[in-house]
Structure 1
Amino acid sequence: MTKNVLFSLLLLWGLAGWSQNDTTSYEQFPATQLQQDLDSIYLQLQENHPSLFAHRKKGEAEADFQQLRQKINRPMDRLEFTRLLSPFVARFRDGHTSVDLALESDEMERYVSGGGRFFPLRVLILKGKLYAGEAALTGTNIRKGDQILSLNGQSAATLIDQMKQMWSADGEPNAIATLQRLFSYSLWATYQWGSRITIDYLQDGVAKKEMLEGLPKEAFLQLTFNSGAAVRQLHLYPENSLAVVEINSYGNVEKTNLFIDSCFRVIKGQGIRHVALDLRKNGGGNSYIGDYFIAHLQKKPYSTVRSKTWHFSPMVRQLSEEHWLKRAIANSRKTYTQQGAFLVSPQFTPQQGATLKDSSLFVNANFYLFTGPRTYSSAHMTALAVKCGRLGIIIGQPTGERLNLTGEILTYAAPNSGIKIVLPVATYTTACGDGNQVGVQPDHLVETTIDDIRA
Structure 2
Amino acid sequence: MMAFPNEKNGAGYTFIRHKALSFWPVSISIPNAALPMKKIVYLLLIILNFASCISNKKYNEKLMSKHSPDQLQKDLSIIKTSLEEAHPGVYWYIKKEKLDFKFDSIKSLLKDSMNSVEFYRLTAPLVSEVKCGHTRLIHPGLKLNKEQKAAIKKKGEAPITQLKYKVEGNQLFVVSANKALTHIKPAMEILSIDSISTPTIINSLKKLYSSDGYNTTFYDEVLNKTFPNYYYLAYPKKDSSLFILKDSSGLCGEWIYNLKPKPAVKKQSEEEKIKQKELAKQQKRVDKKNRYKGFDEQKKPLLDFKIDSTLNSTAVLKVKSFSFSHSNFKRFFKETFTTIQNEKIEHLILDLRGNGGGNLMYCNLLFRYLYNQPHKFTGRASMATRYFSTGKYVDHTLINRFTGIFPFIFVKKDNQGFYDKLPTDKAKKPKKLTYNGNLEVLINGYSFSATSLLSSNLKKVNRGIFIGEETGGGFNQCTAGSIPLLSLPNTGLKLRLPLKVIQIAEPIDLKGRGVFPDIEVKTTLEDILKGKDVVMEKAIDKSSQNLY
The 1:416–1:324 alpha-carbon spacing in structure 2 relative to 1, beyond 3 Å, is closer
Aligned-partner Cα distance in 2 for 1:235–1:143: 34
Matched, 1:302 2:375: yes
Matched, 1:91 2:129: yes
- The one-letter amino acid paired with 2:304 is Q
CA contact (8 A) 1:196 1:214 kept: yes
**Residue in 2 aligned with 1:450?**
525
Distance 1:404 1:78 in 2: 33
Partners in 2 of 1:428 and 1:168 — Cα distance? 18
* 8 Å Cα contact 1:144/1:453 also seen in 2: no
Q: Which amino acid aligns with 1:62?
A: D
- Distance in 1 (CA, whole Å) between partners of 2:110 and 2:260 is 32
Cα deviation, residue 404, structure 1: 3.0
Contact 1:116 1:195 in 2 (8 A): no
Report the equivalent of 1:440.
Answer: 515
Match of 2:77 among 39, 51, 72: 39
Deviation at 1:365, TM superposition (A): 2.5
Looking at structure 1, the residues matched to 106 and 515 of structure 2 have their Cα atoms a distance apart, in angstroms, of: 34
Report the AA paired with residue 252 of structure 2.
Answer: K
Which one is further off, 300-309 or 40-49? 300-309
User: 1:158 is matched with which residue?
Assistant: 200
Deviations 1:329-362 (A, max 9, x none): 84564xxx5248622779x98733764xxx4x44
Inter-partner Cα distance in structure 2 for 1:388 and 1:350: 17
Matched AA of 1:442: P
Q: Does 1:373 align with 2:445?
A: yes
Answer yes or no: is 1:169 the counterpart of 2:211: yes
Question: What SS is found at the alignment partner of 1:434?
Answer: coil
Aligned position for 2:55: none
> What stretches of structure 2 of length at least 5 have no aligned partner?
1-62, 262-295, 531-548
Conserved? CA contact 1:304–1:384, under 8 Å:
no
Structure 1 residue 284 and structure 2 residue 357: aligned? yes
For 2:348 and 2:248, how far apart are their aligned partners in 1? 38
Give the structure with the higher percent strand: 1
Change (3 A) 1:214 1:259: farther
Preserved CA contact (<8 Å) 1:291 1:354: no
Cα 1:35/1:332, change in 2 over 3 Å? closer
Q: Structure 1 pair 94/353, CA: closer, same or farther in 2 (3 Å)?
A: farther
Report deviation, 1:36.
1.0
Is the 1:122–1:133 contact (alpha carbons within 8 Å) kept by the matching residues of 2?
Answer: yes
| Aligned-residue offset at 1:85 | 0.8
Distance 1:209 1:446, change over 3 A: same
Shift in CA distance, 300/215, structure 1 to aligned 2, threshold 3 Å: farther
Cα pair distance change 1:32/1:282, threshold 3 Å: same
Distance 1:353 1:254 in 2: 23
Aligned to 2:414: 338
Query: For the Cα contact (< 8 Å) 1:310–1:329, is it kept in 2?
Result: no
Q: What whole-Å deviation, never above 9, does each CA across 1:239-279 have from its counterpart, x for those lacking one?
A: 23432222221114842332333333444444332112212
SS in 2 for 1:405: strand
CA pair 215-374 structure 1, distance change in 2 beyond 3 A: farther
CA distance in 1, matches of 2:139, 2:428: 36
Amino acid at match of 1:414: L
Equivalents in 2 of 1:116, 1:295: separation in Å?
49
Aligned to 2:333: 260
Paired position in structure 2 for 1:196: 240
Q: Contact 1:301/1:353 (CA < 8 Å) preserved in 2?
A: yes
Give secondary structure in 2 for the equivalent of 1:314: coil
Aligned partners of 2:373 and 2:429 also within 8 Å: no
Taking the aligned partners of 1:168 and 1:427, their CA distance within structure 2 comes to 17
100, 114, 119: which is aligned to 1:62? 100
1:349-389 Cα offsets, whole Å, 9 max, x none, are 8733764xxx4x44442122111111111111111111112
CA gap of 1:154–1:297, structure 2 versus 1, over 3 A, is same
Q: What amino acid is the match of 2:485?
A: T
Please give the alpha-carbon distance, in whole angstroms, between the structure 1 residues aligned to 2:200 and 2:387: 40
Provide the secondary structure at the position in 2 that maps to 1:295.
Answer: helix
Gaps of 5+ in 1: 1-24, 218-224
CA distance in 2, matches of 1:49, 1:83: 22
Match of 1:414 among 456, 476, 488: 488
Name 2:227's counterpart in structure 1.
Answer: 183
2:82 aligned partner, one-letter code: Q
Percent identity for Structure 1 against Structure 2: 23
Alpha-carbon spacing, 1:353–1:453, altered in 2? closer, same or farther (3 Å): farther
Question: What does the per-residue CA deviation read over 1:98-123, in whole Å, with 9 as the maximum and x for residues that have no partner?
Answer: 1125255579x979845474322221
1:314 and 2:387 equivalent? yes
Matches within 5 A, 1:96-107: 96-100=134-138, 102-103=140-141
| 1:286-313 alpha-carbon deviations (Å, 9 max, x no partner) | 0222222233332213344444313333
* Distance change in 2, residues 1:339/1:194 (3 Å): farther
2:67 partner amino acid = F
Q: 1:238 aligns with which of 291, 309, 323?
A: 309
**RMSD between aligned alpha carbons?**
3.3
- Equivalent-residue separation in structure 2 for 1:340 and 1:113 (angstroms): 57
Supply the distance in 2 between the matched residues of 1:113 and 1:173 (Cα, whole angstroms): 38
Choose the corresponding residue for 2:459, options 387, 410, 418: 387
Structure 2 Cα separation of the partners of residues 106 and 43 of structure 1: 32
Report how far residue 328 of structure 1 moved: 8.1
Q: Which amino acid aligns with 1:126?
A: E
Q: Indicate the structure (1 or 2) with the bigger Cα radius of gyration.
A: 2
1:323 counterpart residue number: 402
C-alpha distance in structure 2 between counterparts of 1:277 and 1:325, whole Å: 37
Instruction: Indicate if the aligned counterparts of 2:316 and 2:350 stay in contact, CA closer than 8 A.
Output: yes
Q: Does 1:149 align with 2:191?
A: yes
Quote the Cα distance in structure 1 between the aligned partners of 2:165 and 2:307.
28
In the alignment, the residues of structure 2 paired with residue 164 and residue 40 of structure 1 have an alpha-carbon distance, to the nearest angstrom, of 24
Please, which moves more after superposition, 311-320 or 414-423?
311-320
Alignment TM-score, normalising by the size of structure 1: 0.80
Residue 10 of structure 1 corresponds to which residue in structure 2?
Answer: none
Contact kept, 8 Å, 1:299 with 1:352, in 2: the verdict is no
- 2: CA distance, partners of 1:232 / 1:136: 30
Count how many residue pairs are aligned between Structure 1 and Structure 2: 415
The answer as to whether partners of 1:260 and 1:293 remain within 8 angstroms in 2 is yes
Whether the 8 Å CA contact 2:217–2:469 is kept in 1: the answer is no
- TM-score (ref. length: structure 2): 0.68
Q: Whole-Å Cα distance in 2 between the matches of residues 27 and 117 of structure 1?
A: 26
Matched residue, 1:127: 169
Question: Quick one: which amino acid aligns to residue 355 of structure 2?
Answer: N
Give the match's secondary structure for 1:296: helix
